[in-house]
Amino acid sequence: MATITTADGTEIFYKDWGSKDAQPIMFHHGWPLSGDDWDAQMMFFLQAGYRVIAHDRRGHGRSSQSASGHDMDTYVADVVALTDHLDLKDAIHIGHSTGGGEVARYVAQAKPGRVAKAVLVSAVAPIMVATETNPDGVPMSVFDMVREQTATNRAQFYYDFTLPFFGYNRDGAEVKDAVRQNWWRQGMMGSVLAHTLGVKAFSETDFTADLKAITVPTLVLHGEDDQVVPFPTTGKVSATLVPGAKLISYPGYPHGMPTTHADVINADLLAFVKG
């Protein structure tokens, strides 16, 4: 397995496919998954001639189950270590959910020449939790429930969570149990400690300053029926904060739309990447 070792001794697993001379696209996954959640996009862009990279965040997937560092700044430091190791230049960074927040912070701070474009897909930015300045956000009690269920009832909670994640609880939805099982498989590969502590990172981190600092072309994609990361307070707002960002919202699409609607999402991503 391809891994790097970070300054604190954590091993970060990554996949790196395609010609090293091709433009790199790096994918950043959501909680509590792994780089495998990007299978449909990795294969699509590999076949389109791009170099594709995806890592497993610390405590997730095949990366080591470190006891610390489950905060957004450390997640981003791990990305810096990996992109420096691979010497990625003019890369396109695409992040889903928690990975979208990771992309926002990484891109805002990236060294000149490292990043060409950014895409935030169903991203947690600018901030998820309800606060005095974000009164319409998700109540803290919801995240407390996620923490408690992850720590004490993870296997059943993760399987049940796939229903709203993919919109499979909506009338007329075509439920694919193998997709649910694959989500569950990815989640259960990771560390229960990392996943429990990571709830704070994706729900309470404020990415407002990061979004305002992004200077590369940016695309925001979000499903309007996202039951996990509500569009009105996240994607819709993020698109107004990133200078010149383009927003595409999809009526009826769920949080897991890169899987459920891969054909549409891939086409829109390719148009942005090539444009």
Secondary-structure percent of the chain, ordered helix, strand, coil, rounded to 5: 45, 15, 40
pLDDT tens-digit series, residues 244-259: 999 999 999 999 999 9
3-state secondary structure of 23: coil
Please, what's the largest Cα pairwise distance for the chain? 49
Q: Is the dihedral of CA 216, 23, 44, 78 positive or negative?
A: negative
Active-site positions read 97, 226, 255
Among residues 200, 165, 203, the alpha carbon closest in space to that of 184 is found at: 165
Domain boundaries, the chain: 3-274
Cβ neighbours for 219, distance < 8 A, ≥ 6 positions apart: 117, 118, 119, 120, 245, 246, 247, 248, 268, 269, 272
The answer for 64, left when phi > 0, alpha when psi is -120 to 50, beta otherwise, is beta
Task: Specify the amino acid at residue 111.
Answer: K
182, two tokens: 């694959």
Q: Which residues of the chain have pLDDT under 70?
A: none
What fold is seen in the domain 3-274? Answer: Rossmann fold (3.40.50)
Residues in the chain: 275
Alpha-carbon gap, residue 92 to 41, rounded angstroms: 13
Among residues 241, 244, 246, the alpha carbon closest in space to that of 126 is found at: 241
Q: At what angle do helices 140-165 and 192-204 cross, to 10 degrees?
A: 110
The distance from CA 142 to its chain's CA centroid, rounded to whole angstroms, is 20
* pLDDT at residue 1, rounded to an integer: 81
- pTM higher than 0.85, yes or no? yes
* % of the chain with per-residue pLDDT over 90: 100
**Order of strands across the sheet that contains 91-96:** 3-5, 11-17, 51-55, 24-28, 91-96, 115-121, 218-223, 246-250
